[in-house]
Structure formats: structure tokens, C-alpha cells
Amino acid sequence: MNSRPAYRIAAFLIASFWLAGVVPHVAAAEASRPNVLFIAVDDLNDWVGAFGGHSQAKTPNIDRLAARGTAFLNAHCQAPLCNPSRASLLTGLRPSTTGIYGLAPGIRSVAELKDRVTLPQHFRHNAYFTASFGKVYHDGSIAPKDRTNEFEVWGIAPPIPTPKTKFVNTPSKMAAVDWGVFPERDEDQADWKIADAAIAQLKAAPKDKPFFIAAGFRLPHVPCFASQKWFDLYPEATVKMPPVLENDRSDVPFFSWYLHWQLPEPRLSWLKKNDQWKGLVRAYLACTSFMDSQVGRVLDALDASGQGSNTVVVLWSDHGWHLGEKGITGKNSLWERSTHVPLAFAGPGITKGARCSQPAELLDLFPTLIDLCRLPARSDLEGHSLMPQLDDASTARKWPAITTHNAGNHSVRSEHWRFIRYADGTEELYDLRSDPNEWINLAKLPQHAAKLREHAAWLPKASHPPVPGSAQRILVQEGGKWIWEGKPIVDAELED
Ligand SMILES: [Ca+2]
């Protein structure tokens, strides 16, 4: 076990006060609780040095954070889309429990969740100062007048600045997708301003209570803009492209084509035809490196504040991103490229330099942070504390990671396997040891029937229908037919 000098000193001081007949202002546990620096990243897949998804990724700051603590190499989101993923992490409940699957509604617009005590609120109710900068809750999911109910300080959350005209002429329904060298100065980036605000708050945090400061970075979410120096890290001629297999999707259920195909992000066919695939890959890497530099600024400020040794730092991304794998770019799939996220913890009570390959879920953050900060336990959370793995990364974990994409579609990721079942009952199974790209669907092979059943046993029992107010990309069943994005799913070849 790690020693906890701050905890011991606080306990000693409180014991001294008690012996002297002085009633301390705060209870022992509260006085000794560590701070939390909660770093969210938008649409960051595993193309991060420490997480090994791309051999050229340059992310020295996230890497040094991971080296300071424990990196979870097999961590997965609960939903491959911003709003449902963040709603799940913040409430501690699965999408299949809440019915939040789309870009709306926000949690407070759902009757059952109106008064749900979220992760930051649980800290606030236990005498923490709480503050948020950038994208932590999904943009627009909380009305401005209600934001200080969620965090004591709800700071700036500027959007990614965009040029007057697009760099890349993507089709009109991909309006948000663009990439290129912009703006000229890093100081004009949203993530620079978000880091600045978090740094100012670290300096100004109240001294009489622990803090929970959240910083939510926007890149590498599209549009992927960064200044020239970040592109220069990845000379175009040297950029390695992700592995793809021709006809990769020929062995996946037809149902998945609809769920993942009718997307606004560019398809691989469009990128190839327009000679834009490498440009997007390069821009994504450049933006990730720039965002990483802002993580570094915040980590440096934490250390400069003198609170580094008494602060739990956790970094996570809301879901992954395809860059051509399985024929698409973007998220919204139940495959590894969409579900796999970087997750790292560092700070008091966490083993240093450890790497854990056991499955972990973003849902686990809530109970893990409760344990690390010795807050009152909650019996209403669907995740499981990662404390055993933070103590010893080789500790086996009973639970797989489950990702849900619209009602009734789930992926179950164990240490070595991925099982997917779609709402129409069709299935996929991959052995990630021999097939890390998920190219060979084993679901129909009789020799894997037991493995398939073993994973299917973990499928969520609840299947909450989409709640009222659910936005686009929602799957519903009407009169025995499946309707995806307002159109019936029919057994016909989709154009690629
Ligand atoms: Ca996102």
C-alpha cells in the first residue's frame, strides 16, 4: 500500500485538536480527502502513445500522466456518442437503464433523472468545491439557468473556432466535418482557453476544502483544426494509415449496416475518391498532439500549485473514432474503434507506472472516484470500483465492458473477446488476440458457441425505450418494423 502522509498529518492534527478540547471545523475524513482533476477529451480514440493505437502518435503529456499512475488499456465507453456516453458517466447508469441514446435529451429533461445526484454533485454534497470548464456535460444539455446546480462554478466552454470558408469540400450533410491548418495562433484555440480557465481555477481554488475541477477538451472532435507546428509533427509522406480490409463488412449482419452506415461522417469510399483519407488521418493526429499539449499545461499548473501529490487526476475520452476502419470515419458503431477509450488515473492511492488489460468501463469512474476520495458509497451505481486494479493492475476483473448503441444493440468486451448482438438478434464475435482489427466474424462458427453464450449472459437485462425528446440517430420499432433515422430498415444493398 502507498503511504498517505497528508492523511496521517491531518489525522494527527485532528486528534490533537480533540485532545485539546477544540472541535475541528471538518471531520477527519473530509480534511484528508484528495482533490480531483477530472480531464475529459472529446472523440479521442486510442491514438495516444501510452495506449498504443497508432505508432506515430505524439502525446508526451498524456503519456507522462499515464506513467504517473495506472493506464487502463482495455477501457470502453457505454455509448459511442457524446451525449449518451457523458450522461451515463455522470449519472452512473447505463443507456439501457436511462433510455438516453441520442444527442438529446439532457439528463435533467428526463423525469426519472431530474433529481439524480450526479458524480460532480456527489462531490459537492460532500464538501468539495466543484468547477467545470469546456465540454464535460454534453453541450446544450443543461439550461444556462440550471448549470450552477451541476457545478458550483460552470465556466467557459468555447466552441472550436472555424474559418470563413471550409478547407475540405465534404458533402453538404457532412457540414461539421473539416480539417486543416487553423487558427494561426494556438492561443486562439478553444482548448487553449479551456486550459487557461482551468489553470486560473487551480490557482484560485478555495483553501478550506478539497476541489473537483473538471476540464473538457474539444479536440480531436471534428472539425480537426490545428496550427502548422502540430501538422509538422506528422510530415504527410510519412503518415501511417490505419489497417483496413477490403470487404471487411461482408461478414457482419445486415442490421449493422444501417446502424453504422447512414452517418454524416465521410465514408472511406468518399475519402479515397477525393484523395482526402491521409489528410484526415494527419489532421486527427495533429489535433490530438495539440490537445495533449493543453493537458500538459494543466498538469504543470497542478504541480506548480503544490497540490499535485494530493490530487487524483483522471483522464478519459467519451468514445473512440474510426478513421476509415470498417469503411467509415466517426463513431456510432459497436466495434473497437468506437468503443475503446484512453483511461488513466494518477495520484494518491494509485499504483505508479502500471498498465491494466482487464476490461474497464467509463461507468466505473463514479465508484472509483468515490473510493479514492473516501466519499460515502452509493448503492445506485451500475459501474464497479477499479480500486483492485489501481492497487494491482493484474487483478482479474469479473465484469466485461458493455457498450450500447440505441435500444437493444449491445457490445460485450471481455479481456480478449468482443461479442455484439443487434436488436434484430443478429450477432458478431471477434477474438481480439488473433484479430485486433475485428475483421473475422466468428459468431456463426459452432466451435465458438460456448464463448458466444458466455458473453451473451452479460447483456443488460434492462432495455429502456428511447426517452421522449430523443434526437436523431434513434432506432425504434413500429408495427414490427425497425425504423432507423426515420426510415424503415429494408433488406437491400446500401450504397457505399
Ligand atoms: Ca464525443
pLDDT for position 174: 79
Band of pLDDT at residue 21, cut at 50, 70 and 90:
very low
Close Cβ partners of 495 (under 8 Å, ≥ 6 residues apart): none
Alpha carbons 182 and 161: distance in angstroms, whole number: 8
Residue 28, pLDDT score: 57
DSSP 8-state symbol, 65: H
pLDDT (tens digit, 9 = 90+) per residue, 232-273?
999 999 999 999 998 898 999 988 888 876 666 788 989 999
Give tens-digit pLDDT for 49-89: 999 999 999 999 999 999 999 999 999 999 999 999 999 99
22 falls in which pLDDT band (50, 70, 90)? Answer: very low
Which helix (H) or strand (E) element contains residue 120?
Answer: helix 119-125
DSSP state letter for 92? T
Question: For residue 27, what pLDDT band results from cuts at 50, 70 and 90?
Answer: low
Taking alpha carbons only, the member of 412, 45, 442 closest to residue 242 is: 45
pLDDT in tens, 87-104: 999 999 999 999 999 999
Active site residues: 82, 138
138 vs 174, higher pLDDT: 138
- CA 77 to ligand 1 center in whole angstroms: 10
Q: What is the DSSP string of 387-455?
A: HHHHH-TT---S--EEEE-STT-EEEE-SSEEEEE-TTS-EEEEETTT-TT--S--TT-GGGHHHHHHH
Give residue 81's identity as a one-letter amino acid code.
L
Q: How far is the CA of 408 from the centre of ligand 1 (A)?
A: 21
Residues, the chain: 496
Distance between Cα 258 and ligand 1 center (Å) = 21
Calculate how far, in angstroms, residue 81's C-alpha sits from the geometric centre of ligand 1: 6
Does residue 484 or residue 364 have the better pLDDT? 364
Q: How far is the CA of 159 from the centre of ligand 1 (A)?
A: 13
Q: How many A from CA of 88 to the centre of ligand 1?
A: 13
Q: At what angle do helices 277-304 and 190-204 cross, to 10 degrees?
A: 10
- Report the percentage of the chain scoring pLDDT > 90: 82
